[in-house]
Amino acid sequence: MIDTSALRFQIEPMRVTDVDAMMPIEEEAFTAPWSARAYTYELQHNANAYYYVARPVLPAAMNAPLDSIWQRARGIFSRPPAHPAPLVGYAGFWFIVDEAHISTIATHAEWRRRGIGELLLIAMLERALELRAVTMTLEARVSNLGALALYRKYGFEVVGTRTKYYHDNNEDAFIMTTPPIQAAEYRERIGARQMNLRAGLAR
């Protein structure tokens, strides 16, 4: 059996062909999920949108006995797909003026607390740095303690509240923002987190 706890993950730009595989994750992760059409529109028409997906890096020995995840993935395809590894997470942001605004981030429920959310967040921060964004910002449900903890780990702080922002249950949203991401201090902090994460995922 492959020990999935030892798997590493890679981040790639999202493609339209990824959208169908994202939908079960989206529908589990969010009470008001986006549609496949909304993601497709983002990818095809929103020039200010940057989206990424995470996949496990498959072990070289693909002929080794496969656990149920790989068996399922193989069962779906009659021949090896371009990406044999299932999609385990995705995220995206909009670059507006000088701000990177996270529009979505989700990890498959069976793959959480393994650093995938952090990898996606780092990929977005790196792109935002290249785009010369000044800060990264987002809205999060006030009850979403896991997401809030993830963002706080990367220096996001609550700077405001949007009352009854979520229409499904009238929940408030926290507005969270990073310190200036181009500052050397912040870049060093992210670099250190990235190294810790790599060390952890490689164990």
Q: Which residues bind ligand COA (CB under 6 A)?
A: 29, 105-107, 112-118, 140, 144-147, 149-150, 153
Hey, how many other C-beta atoms are within 10 angstroms of the C-beta on 96?
Answer: 11
| Cα 88 from Cα 11, distance rounded (Å) | 10
Nearer to ligand COA, 64 or 96 (CB): 96
Nearer to ligand COA, 62 or 159 (CB): 159
Report which residue's Cβ sits closest to ligand COA.
117
Residue 192 is given by DSSP the state: H
Minimum separation from the CB atom of position 67 to ligand COA (A): 20
- What angle is formed at CA 110 by the lines to CA 106 and CA 116, rounded to 5 degrees? 45
Minimum separation from the CB atom of position 175 to ligand COA (A): 11
Nearer to ligand COA, 113 or 167 (CB): 113
Minimum separation from the CB atom of position 105 to ligand COA (A): 5
Minimum separation from the CB atom of position 149 to ligand COA (A): 3
Which uninterrupted H or E stretch holds 129? helix 116-130
Are residues 152 and 174 in contact, defined by beta-carbon separation less than 8 angstroms? no
Nearer to ligand COA, 24 or 64 (CB): 24
Are residues 32 and 168 in contact, defined by beta-carbon separation less than 8 angstroms? yes
End-to-end CA distance of the chain: 18
Minimum separation from the CB atom of position 104 to ligand COA (A): 7
